[in-house]
Amino acid sequence: MEKKTPLYQTHVDAGGKIVEFGGYLMPVQYPTGVIAEHMAVRTKAGLFDVSHMAELTLEGPAAVENLQRLVTADISKMTDGQVKYAMFCNENGGIVDDLVIYRRAADRYLLVVNAGNHDKDAAWVERHVSGDVEYRDISDAVAQLALQGPASDVILRRICEESGIPAKYYHFCEDSLLRLPGGREIRAIVSQTGYTGEFGYEIYCRAEDAVDLWNALLAVGADQGLIPCGLGARDTLRLEAGMPLYGHEMDEGISPKEAGLPCKLDGKDFIGRDAIIARGAPKIRRVGLEVTGRGIVREHCDLYAPDGRRIGWISSGTYCPFLKKSVAMGYVNVEEAVEGAKLEADVRGRRIEAEIVPLPFYKIQR
Amino acid sequence: MKFPAELKYTRTHEWVKMETETDALVGISDFAQDQLGDLVFVNLPVVGDTVTAGETLCDVESVKAVSDVISPVSGTVAAVNEDLLDAPEKLNEDPYGAWIARIEKVSATEELLDAAAYEAVTHEEA
């Protein structure tokens, strides 16, 4: 039985095309369509309901030492108000999930994990925490909205006071005051983070405030071109920005090193560290590909070298509306992972040419 | 949702216009383009190819997925709409004007529905 976010009816009323994703019924697009929604984020602003993501908390004197053991990143040097990207790994050095970690205080952390891995991650964390730390799953109490695009700052400032707006990327404000049209005030965590490669914010509010916040943002953002955007655009945007997605670029068999993702191997021990080291130098590497032939190259397509050897596979691929080209990410044998290398993808029996290019495909100046 | 009365339709959401007894113009319906979403590639059939009613004529790609266009008729591909190579969005904007292929020497057809019957089919699916 799929779950619904607090905004489900809002999406239905707005004409959202509802699909199942990560155990939730979510809008893949609105009548505007994926391309218009993608372009809104790149040129103006888009609003996403990402309440399907799961929020877990670790609090107590032993929070840091537990987190250090659970994740690939070094938590010990985080400051209050800082956000860090990290991964959970299994005993074989493969990735259990990727997540972001919010340090609210030295002994209070918020973890935001993928909806599709909610149950797996919750069980994994519960199994591995010990000592003086309290673990809670607060997902049902929390809603999350993502406001992304060059106009997001102007829009947010219309309802959020200055002191509640984080000034730096991967930082957040705890307890920001948001004054909605009509006078209602709500409190939220506001972070300068996102999954689009564009400037923007993610806002964590109480589930019961989500609808009012959503409507408020759309109202005050209308003259800036703000429109609601679905999961279809979320995927084309993150792929255009070269961002990995669990279940595609990462899974329980792929290690952070193969995925080209950071992990701190010396100075701290974490679950899976020894296995990652034991795997040695990666034999496969994640690469970015630009399709030079005609068509879209999608996940699971095989990749071939010009001499006909199968050398890898595609993990994600789509047509990027802003760059107006088809791009993909995939894995190839490390000796083939050379920028400029020309490969062929097998797309339903047809060979389409692609070329390895650096990641990301699209990046803004921060 | 438009269902021009002068056209015939298939259950797989293509439209057919018999220009003569043996020449057919083929495209996808308004319902089809709406379901598919923004189309970004059309992989046109090749002029001269033989096509069979009920089998794949060509495919179209949206951002999210690729979909087969099923040929409503059997015959030979006489012409393809090359405008769609650069402007696949015409299928979304004008599904009944943006024909995909002209098939000649039409020898057989799939079950073809009139506009009212096809509209009923789309209500079942929606």
CB distance B37–A295 less than 8 Å? Answer: no
The angle that helices A118-128 and A63-70 make with each other, rounded to 10 degrees, is 120
Q: Enter the tokens of residue A337.
A: 């992972």
Tell me: do A187 and A330 sit in the same domain: no
Predicted TM-score (pTM) of the model is: 0.92
Split at pLDDT 50, 70, 90, the class of B64 is confident
Q: What is the pLDDT of residues A137-146, one digit of tens each?
A: 999 999 999 9
In which domain, by residue range, is A196 found? Answer: 3-48+141-239
Tell me: do A177 and A313 sit in the same domain: no
CB count in 10 Å sphere of residue A152: 26
Tell me: do A151 and A221 sit in the same domain: yes
Residue A292 lies in a domain: yes
CA distance A159 to A219: 11
Tell me: do A208 and A152 sit in the same domain: yes
Of B37, B43, B61, the CB nearest to A34: B37
Tell me: do A228 and A317 sit in the same domain: no
Query: What is the rounded radius of gyration, in angstroms, for the C-alpha atoms of chain B?
Result: 13
Q: Enter the tokens of residue A247.
A: 């279940």
Which residue of B lies nearest to A37 if distances are taken between CA atoms? B38
CA dist list (Å): A273 to A68, A148, A248, A280: 11, 35, 22, 11
Tell me: do A146 and A235 sit in the same domain: yes
Q: What is the pLDDT of residues A201-254, one digit of tens each?
A: 999 999 999 999 999 999 999 999 999 999 999 999 999 999 999 999 999 999
Q: Does A232 touch chain B (CB under 8 A)?
A: yes
pLDDT value of residue B125: 82
Q: What is the pLDDT of residues A299-314, one digit of tens each?
A: 999 999 999 999 999 9
Cβ neighbourhood burial of A289 (10 Å; 0-12, 13-18, 19+): buried
As a whole number, mean pLDDT of residues A87-101 equals 97
Tell me: do A215 and A363 sit in the same domain: no
Q: Enter the tokens of residue B89.
A: 């969005």
Residue A261 lies in a domain: no
Q: Does B64 touch chain A (CB under 8 A)?
A: yes
Q: Does B1 touch chain A (CB under 8 A)?
A: no
Contact A120, A114 (CB under 8 A): no
- Residues of A within 8 A of B59 (CB-CB) are 348
DSSP string, A4-42: E-TTHHHHHHTT-EEEEETTEEEEEE-TT-HHHHHHHHH
Tell me: do A235 and A287 sit in the same domain: no
Evaluate whether ipTM surpasses 0.95: no
pLDDT value of residue A298: 95
CA dihedral A39, A40, A45, A48 (to 10 degrees): -90
- Residues of B within 8 A of A34 (CB-CB) are 37-38, 62-64
Q: B8-113 has which fold? A: OB fold (Dihydrolipoamide Acetyltransferase, E2P) (2.40.50)
Tell me: do A168 and A293 sit in the same domain: no
CB distance B63–A28 less than 8 Å? Answer: no
Cβ contacts of B102 within 8 Å, gap of 6 or more: B19, B23, B24, B25, B26, B77, B78, B79, B80
Tell me: do A294 and A362 sit in the same domain: yes
Q: Enter the tokens of residue B110.
A: 């799939």
pLDDT value of residue B12: 96
Q: Does B38 touch chain A (CB under 8 A)?
A: yes
Of A28, A294, A348, the CB nearest to B41: A294
Q: Enter the tokens of residue A18.
A: 């509802």
CA distance B87 to B109: 29
Q: Enter the tokens of residue A156.
A: 């947010």
A359: domain CATH number?
2.40.30.110
Domain locations along chain B = 8-113
Residue A204 lies in a domain: yes
CA distance A62 to A72: 17
A22: domain CATH number?
3.30.1360.120
CB count in 10 Å sphere of residue A184: 12
- Residues of A within 8 A of B63 (CB-CB) are 34-35, 232, 236, 296, 318-319, 321
CA distance A345 to A306: 10
Strands (DSSP E) found in B1-126:
8-9, 14-18, 24-28, 39-43, 50-51, 56-62, 66-70, 73-80, 101-109
* Domain count for chain A: 2
